[in-house]
Structure formats: structure tokens, C-alpha cells
Amino acid sequence: MKLLAKIALVFAASFSMLGTAAAQNWPTKPIKLVVPFGPGGSTDITARLLAQELTILLGQSVVVDNRGGGGGNIGAAIVARSEPDGYTLMMATSTHVTNPGLYKDMTYDVLKDFAFVSQVAFIPNMLVVTKDLPVKNLAEFVDYVRQNKGPVYYGSSGSGTSQHLAAALFNTMANGKMEHIPYKGGGAAAVDLMAGRIQAYFAPLAEVVPRIDSGSVLAIAATTKERVSRYPNIPTVGEALPGYEVALWNGIFAPAKTPPEIVNKLSTAIQQILKKPEMQKKLAEQGSTPVGSSPEEFAKFVASELPKWVRIAKMSGATVN
């Protein structure tokens, strides 16, 4: 029995050393970066920028895999169940700390089923409306939705997403009569806004900057506490509805039990990328503020965000089917 025990210990030590060696040599093959929303949205745009830079820095291809649906839950569940070997990652957003307050049957635990790598950026949402809507500014829009002068359908990248909550909270605080139209991604919502099939969209700024600049849509207000530096003349929602504030973020999650060596190596790479002037410029052009954080810092941040977004969800009155 003692001999068997010794053999078992030798095998365990051998496997441990193999695992450590694999982590130290990571990556040796392409990495999949799951975006839990459709292509063309702000999360997808930022993920592809990051994937390009990581490919160069890590020496292996980082391939974006769009897995939209379920308000980001489908893609998140896939990553949570993936092998924790550093070859499957997710571009997570504030939606993933909101969903526990909206969905009764969650198939993953955001705090237990993921390793937190690094926050990437903070992102403002911008309330944009079609040019055909008979309003010119925030005050007129608030009055319009209150008096129900016409149908106001607002889009989002899915039920329970940050865009949905930003709009639902606005509607509640304005005592408005807007109706929600969920999509499988922000890109599709932006397209329908342009086509006039919806009248309003609380869009992540990255999705609508070209449309705002071209005059294709009218930017009414920012959802953040402060005005967006790119558009200093556009007010915040809080200037008309005191107390309103919705600030979004994104970051990289990996499956729980991913080796710390891999998590730290990836976090260091992301922080290095986000310090590059050209990357900061690209994010600034989208209205995003780069962050970059250690795994420990990001874990604390996510844990603090969970109760905040659950509270926003309750305040908004948002529901999901």
C-alpha cells in the first residue's frame, strides 16, 4: 500500500509539472475569443481590435467567435463550460453582472465560473434617434415619450443587456411610453435605426460615431455622469432626469481554474496593449476609455459591479422573456 501511495504521488507530481510547463509555454496554438453578441456591435468592434494586437504580441492567432443570443448568456455559458487551458476566452461586458438580476434560470455563476483577466475599457452609451422623429433635443424627446405623440420603439442588443436597461431606466424615470425591440446584436439594432424600423437606440458610442458625425442620426444625450469628451455639446440624460447614470464596461474573462500563469501572462499583454498610443487613439475615437487592470483588480471590480447593476435592473423595471 505504501508503494502504491508513493507511485500515486509521483504521478500526481508529474502531471502537476506537465501542467505548469504547459502554462509556461502558452500559447502554442490559436486562441478563441468568444464575443457573446452578434457582429458589428461595440463589444465585437473592441474585441477585434484587441484580437489583432494580441495576435502580434502572443505570436498565435486570436480568432473572434460571435455567439450571440440570450442577452449574452449563450456565449458566456459556452466559455464557462470550456476547458480551462487558456485557449477559450470571452469579451465580457457589464451585461454579465446584470443578467443574474434579470434571469431566473442562469446556467452559469459569474463570480464562480470565470477567471477575471483584465478590464479593457469603459464605454459611454449615447441616446440616438432617427432624423424623422419630430424632436431636436433631449427636452423635446422627454416630452415626446411622455405624451405618447407617436410610437417610440427602442432597440437593444438583447433583452437584459446594458442598452435595454439604459433605455428602460430612462423610460421609467421619464414616465414615458417607449416599447422595447430586442436584437441579437447592436449592429442589427443600429441598422434598423437607420432604416426607421425603430426610433431610438441607447447605443454604445462605438457603434454610432460614424452615423452621428455624418448626420445620419441625431445624438440626444449621453448616459454617463459626465458629458462625453468627443461630443461636449451633447448633454447627459441626468441633466434632464437627475440621478440617471449608466456607465458600461468590457473586459476579458476565462473559464474558472485557468492556470494563474496563463491569466497573468494574458493580463500583462492586455495592459501592455492598452498603453500603446495607437490603441488608446482607436478607443478614444469610439468614445471609450482604456483601462487595463490586474486579475486581482478586475475580480474586485466585477464583484462590486454585481449589486450595482442588479439595483439598476430593479430601478429600470426591465423584464426579460
Whichever domain contains 202, its CATH number is 3.40.190.10
Residue 299: inside a domain: yes
Q: CA-CA distance, 159 to 164, in Å (whole number)?
A: 6
> Same domain for 119 and 129?
no
Torsion angles phi and psi, residue 248, rounded to 5: -100, 165
Position 111 scores a pLDDT of 96
At 8 the pLDDT is 54
Evaluate whether residue 53 is within a structural domain: yes
Q: Is residue 204 part of a domain?
A: yes
- Cα separation, 130 vs 196, in Å, equals 7
Q: Are residues 225 and 152 in the same domain?
A: yes
Q: Please check whether residues 83 and 224 belong to one and the same domain.
A: no
CB within 8 A of 92, min separation 6: which ones? 36, 72, 76, 114, 250, 251, 252, 253
Nearest to 318 by CA among 125, 104, 168: 168
- Residue 266's φ and ψ, nearest 5 degrees, are -70, -40
Of 192, 220, 239, the domain-final residue: 239
Task: Spell 206-218 as b/e; 16+ CB within 10 A means b.
Answer: bbbbebbeeeebb
pTM: predicted TM-score of the whole model, two decimal places = 0.79
- Domain of 304, CATH number, reads 3.40.190.150
Rg (CA), the chain: 21
pLDDT attached to residue 280: 94
| 56 plus 113 within the same structural domain | yes
Residue 11 lies in a domain: no
CA–CA separation, 83 and 191 (whole Å): 36
Q: How many CA atoms lie within 13 A of 26 on its CB side?
A: 25
In the prediction, which pLDDT does 16 show? 47
pLDDT of residue 184: 80
Q: What is the C-alpha separation between 10 and 3, in angstroms, rounded?
A: 11
- Is 9 contained in some domain? no
Structure confidence at residue 150 (pLDDT): 73
Give Cα separations from 112 to 102, 221, 249 (angstroms). 18, 36, 20
Q: Is 82 exposed, middle or buried (0-12, 13-18, 19+ CB in 10 A)?
A: middle
Segments in the chain below pLDDT 50: 14-16, 18
Range of the domain at 306: 30-123+248-316
Quote the pLDDT of residue 83.
98
**Is-contact 197 187, C-beta < 8 A?**
no
Is residue 88 within 8 Å of 57, Cβ to Cβ? no
Cell numbers linked to 102 = 434579470
What pLDDT score does 17 carry? 53
Burial of 116 (0-12, 13-18, 19+ CB in 10 A): buried
The count of domains in the chain is 2
| Residues 117, 145 within the same domain | no
* 233/306 same-domain check: no
**β-sheet with 179-182: strand ranges across:** 179-182, 153-156, 200-204, 125-130, 217-222
Does residue 10 sit within a domain? Answer: no
CA quadruple 134, 138, 140, 146: dihedral, nearest 10: 100
